[in-house]
Homo-oligomer: A and B are copies of this chain.
Amino acid sequence: MNPYSLSRRAIALRSSAIREILKITAQPDVISFAGGLPSPETFPIEHLRNAAERVWQHQARTALQYGPTEGHAPLREWIAERLRAQGSTQVRAEQVLITTGSQQGLDLLTKVLVDEGSKLLVETPSYLGALQAFAMGEPRFHSMPSDDEGIMVDAMDDAMLEGARLLYCLPNFQNPTGRRLPLARREALVARAGQAGVPIVEDDPYGELDYGGQRLPSLHSMNPEGVVYLGSFSKLLTPGFRLGYMVAPPVIFEKCVQAKQAADLHTPSFTQHVVFEAVRDGFLDRHIPTIRALYGRQCEYMLEALERHMPAEASWSRPEGGMFIWVSLPPSIDTERLLEQAIDHKVAFVPGAPFFCEAPQRNTLRLSFVTVAKENIERGVALLGSLIRDALAAQPQARRA
């Protein structure tokens, strides 16, 4: 029996599948495609260390003191400048809120926009961490019709948009599917949401990780007054600093600042100073191409391995950027059961079901390719392929149809 009265949202909380799996996959002999971790090979250790050295020498007292809730002013200015160069031409530093990872942006938006029972629109499937953050506001989730290219804007009727508190979208190399929303859908989505008065939350941790170097304009650049943009340094520099940011229209911005003050006062001053020192000289423009090249290569290894080892009944996404491939198996296969078998063979992935807020597709799974060596991608995918074939072979013909 529980000795204390917990809140409704606490009672509803369940430990996440990913969280439990990550514990297992921390064992060194497991080939893990389960992580959402960037490759540590991409961490610019010496560059960050030198940046930190400058902070210790010249800014230690400021970097070790409490700072403004909005964040370190020069870093906010740098972010605004970069977003302007990327097409969000109206962004001012005063609209940039530094957050403790972009995950915190989701938490703040939940506090500011969501009451219990509020209607939220999310992709099918959607980023699990966002579903968890939003769930703290006890909303009603509505799953937007989506296909291999993302939200099917034309298939959404006005009733779906009406009264929604926010529309959450990860347009670039989405977690978990790896898909990217095409330009025409971006324009249509921004127009529809704008007409309905529904703010779009554009979560963009992978936007700069396009292998081909071809970026699409952000939703934010199309309608800055109607879109909250969430960015992150986690995939470009290091996730260990937990440094992200939000750009929001004035009313939402001001309320998020106040919610952030109540949440953690401000994001650590020290890491903000170090990151500003690390990026101010244009380092990212030299560094990001090396990440793109590595991840593009790793993705290719995995796509080749999938071609070689997956049965004909399987299909998968072919991402042009980011960190994930999404696999769909015949409906008879439950990937949570498959995972148990795979773990026995020291291979891990993330089952797809938790990424759906309704009608989970239990025959789907997410693979990350960025941290696994080429030969282990080959071995791990071969093993998964053979487990899937075995599962299919063991089933009566009728169920496979």
The residues of A with any CB-CB pair to B shorter than 8 Å are 2-10, 13-16, 19, 36-38, 40, 43, 45, 48-49, 52, 56, 60-67, 69, 100-101, 103-104, 106-107, 111-116, 118, 129, 132-133, 135-137, 165, 197, 199, 225, 234, 238-242, 249, 251-252, 254-255, 258-259, 261-271
Q: Which of A4, A9, A49: most chain B Cβ within 10 A?
A: A4
Bound: A199/B199 CA distance, A: 39
State whether A264 and B107 are in contact (beta carbons under 8 Å apart), knowing that A10-B255, A13-B258, A15-B258 are contacts in the complex.
yes
State whether A9 and B66 are in contact (beta carbons under 8 Å apart), knowing that A103-B264, A103-B265, A270-B271 are contacts in the complex.
no
| One of B7, B197, B225, B239 near A66 (C-beta < 8 A) | B239
Q: Shortest 8 CB-CB distances between A and B: which pairs?
A: A240-B269, A64-B240, A64-B238, A132-B262, A10-B112, A100-B264, A242-B268, A40-B61
Bound: A278/B254 CA distance, A: 37
In the complex, the answer to whether A112 meets B6 with C-beta atoms within 8 Å is yes
Bound: A64/B237 CA distance, A: 9
In the complex, the answer to whether B258 meets A113 with C-beta atoms within 8 Å is no
State whether A165 and B263 are in contact (beta carbons under 8 Å apart), knowing that A239-B64, A269-B240 are contacts in the complex.
no
Bound: A58/B364 CA distance, A: 39
In the assembled complex, the CB of A43 is this many whole angstroms from the nearest CB of chain B, namely 5
Q: Give the residues in chain B near A116, CB-CB below 8 Å.
A: 116
Q: Nearest B residue to A254 by beta-carbon distance? A: B15
Bound: A62/B112 CA distance, A: 34
In the assembled complex, the CB of A118 is this many whole angstroms from the nearest CB of chain B, namely 7
In the complex, the answer to whether B268 meets A268 with C-beta atoms within 8 Å is yes
Bound: A104/B104 CA distance, A: 11
In the complex, the answer to whether A259 meets B4 with C-beta atoms within 8 Å is no
Bound: A16/B257 CA distance, A: 11
Q: Which of A113, A238, A254: most chain B Cβ within 10 A?
A: A238
In the complex, the answer to whether A43 meets B60 with C-beta atoms within 8 Å is yes
Bound: A49/B254 CA distance, A: 35
Bound: A269/B69 CA distance, A: 21
State whether A13 and B265 are in contact (beta carbons under 8 Å apart), knowing that A6-B112, A19-B69 are contacts in the complex.
no
In the complex, the answer to whether A251 meets B6 with C-beta atoms within 8 Å is yes
In the assembled complex, the CB of A392 is this many whole angstroms from the nearest CB of chain B, namely 35
State whether A136 and B65 are in contact (beta carbons under 8 Å apart), knowing that A2-B251, A7-B113, A56-B45 are contacts in the complex.
no
Bound: A14/B5 CA distance, A: 29
In the complex, the answer to whether B251 meets A65 with C-beta atoms within 8 Å is no
Bound: A165/B4 CA distance, A: 8
Bound: A5/B106 CA distance, A: 17
| One of B3, B48, B262 near A251 (C-beta < 8 A) | B3
Q: Which of A3, A113, A133, A242: most chain B Cβ within 10 A?
A: A242
Bound: A14/B262 CA distance, A: 12
Bound: A129/B216 CA distance, A: 42
Q: Give the residues in chain B near A113, CB-CB below 8 Å.
A: 4-7, 10
Q: Give the residues in chain B near A249, CB-CB below 8 Å.
A: 3-4
Q: Nearest B residue to A111 by beta-carbon distance? A: B136
